[in-house]
Chains A and B, each alone.
Chain A
Amino acid sequence: DAGVIQSPRHEVTEMGQEVTLRCKPISGHNSLFWYRQTMMRGLELLIYFNNNVPIDDSGMPEDRFSAKMPNASFSTLKIQPSEPRDSAVYFCASSRLAALDEQFFGPGTRLTVL
């Protein structure tokens, strides 16, 4: 199995631009998570999908952030417009059943907003 796949691995953009991060979960996994990691706040859950349905989006910072999961094998996290404080590493993870299960993390996308 290829594991969780994320793209791009690195993204540098200018303030105000739209950013789209992509994730392909492990085949057969029913839950998908988007996390953000910063030095100040550590790992934070942004949003969690189960069977393609958003279950908990309370961690999404504000309306500039949106996430979709159109099918079981693909999810996007979009930031529009981006701001320098959005600079972080964004991880996607998936688990076989639910949030309680072991989670498998992707390699992350390092986002820098100038």
Chain B
Amino acid sequence: KNEVEQSPQNLTAQEGEFITINCSYSVGISALHWLQQHPGGGIVSLFMLSSGKKKHGRLIATINIQEKHSSLHITASHPRDSAVYICAVFPIQGAQKLVFGQGTRLTINP
């Protein structure tokens, strides 16, 4: 079982829909990252969080440390949000490096 599991693996929605991508992990962590990888391949860091909630524009990230779960929400989705969204965690114990989920491929149709 992977330490970081994302769901769904693929998501297709219509423009304007509210999007939720989930990330569950099995180890204690210091921080969780959400990354966005566009079709061209570039990777952008969206959020780094260790508790509560963060908001940037139409994107909201939440984390529940006790339940070992994080969600990434996109409000009023737009075709330009189409990308792969990757969750990564920084474990408290063991190797001090990010552990990545396999990503969620989001497609927003106009």
Residues of chain B within 8 A of A99, CB atoms compared: 90, 96-98
State the CA gap A44–B100 with chains docked (Å).
Answer: 8
Contacts A100-B30, A102-B48 hold; do A45 and B42 have CB atoms under 8 A apart?
A: no
Question: A59 to B30, alpha carbons, bound, how many Å?
Answer: 21
Which of B30, B43, B44, B103 has the most chain A CB within a 10 Å cutoff?
Answer: B43
Are A91's CB and B43's CB within 8 A? yes
Residue with the greatest number of chain B CB neighbours at <10 A, chosen from A55, A100, A101, A104 = A100
Chain B interface, DSSP helix/strand/loop, else mixed = strand
C-beta contact mask, B85-107 vs A, less than 8 Å → 1, else 0?
Answer: 01010100001111011110000
Chain A 76-107 against B: per-residue CB contact (8 Å), 1 yes, 0 no? 00000000000001010100000111111101
Q: Which residue of A lies closest to B88 (CB)?
A: A43
Number of A residues whose C-beta is below 8 Å from B? 22
CB of B75 closer than 8 Å to a CB of A: no
Residues in chain A within 8 A of chain B (CB atoms): 42-45, 48, 55-56, 58-59, 89, 91, 93, 99-105, 107-108, 110
Apart from A89-B41, A107-B42, A108-B43, what are 10 other A-B pairs with CB-CB below 8 Å? A43-B88, A43-B100, A48-B97, A93-B43, A99-B96, A99-B98, A100-B31, A101-B48, A103-B98, A104-B45
